[in-house]
Amino acid sequence: MVHEEYKEMIPARALSALDAAEAHALNEHLENCAECRKELEEWQATAATLALTADSVEPSPAVRERILSEVRKDLASPEVLPFRSTPRNIWSSFGSLGAMAAVVLLTALIVGLIVLWQQNGRMREELALSKQFVELVTTPGARVSELKGIDLGAGATASLAYDQNGHAMLMANKLPQPPQGKAYQLWFIVGKNPPMPGKTFSPDNTGKGMLKEQMPREAINSAIFAITMEPERGSVAPTSPIYLRSFEVN
């Protein structure tokens, strides 16, 4: 196994998602590779930060419904319960029922694994962005501005980190789900000038949203940040009330 393959295993190791053989192989590599040990420590710190800041979330109802839907399909399928006119003793009946239960269970497990794979993909992406956020925050001269929800966005929060060159990242929590065709948009407000538009982003089903942005030069040293709900492609001027905003001029 080459060095790059070991590096690809590190994010999964930080989440304790490696199987025994992979974990053993990576552990042997870590004993002789200071670079990978350092990267693992960074990923573990990022995972710990994300775990501490994340809100507890119940599994999506859609996941349960998908599994039950697949089970119902199998129960309704004539291939699962072949009816025969010949009599069978009670023990063979138990055997058929066991086979049917195994098919149903296997189907549910496959669906569950697919959903879990998709969720793990999102988690890896979220961890990668969180790592970038931590790296940005720890950059010399970096600043962090806190945004609070008001009116329609009451209860929502966000943090905007940016460096002296205007490289910025936004992490938002508890955002209401936008209607179809809508998304949230970041704005930069400098003095009495019209708000300058940033990018749009959409939260996941838990209300979490992330955004990478390049700030306008004028906003780096003196700006208030705001978030509104706009069309998915964004607007050149706000068309809705402010959902979140910062209150301190940086």
Q: Determine the angle formed by the axes of helices 3-14 and 20-30, rounding to 10 degrees.
A: 120
CA distances from 169 to 68, 161, 175 (A): 39, 5, 17
Q: CA 106, CA 180: separation in Å to the nearest integer? A: 35
Q: 10 phi and psi, to 5 degrees?
A: -65, -45
Q: What pLDDT is attached to residue 50?
A: 53
Share of the chain above pLDDT 70, in %: 66
In tens, the pLDDT along 35-49 reads 888 888 887 776 665
Tokens of 190: 């400098």
pLDDT at position 65: 64
> pLDDT tens-digit profile of 62-74?
655 665 565 565 5
- Which range has highest mean pLDDT (114-123, 130-139, 190-199)? 190-199
Distance CA 220, CA 160 (A): 12
* DSSP per-residue letters across 138-189: TSTT-EEEEEEE-GGGTT-EEEEEE-TT-EEEEEEESPPPPPTTEEEEEEEE
More confident residue, 129 or 108: 129
Q: What is the pLDDT of residue 91?
A: 40
Amino acid at 222: S
Q: Return phi, psi of residue 190, to 5°.
A: -120, 115
Residue 210: CA atoms inside 13 Å, Cβ hemisphere, count? 14
Q: What is the pLDDT of residues 200-231, one digit of tens each?
A: 999 988 899 999 999 999 999 888 999 999 99
Record the pTM.
0.54
pLDDT of residue 246 exceeding 50: yes
pLDDT tens for residues 81-124?
454 544 544 444 445 445 555 555 555 555 555 555 445 555 66
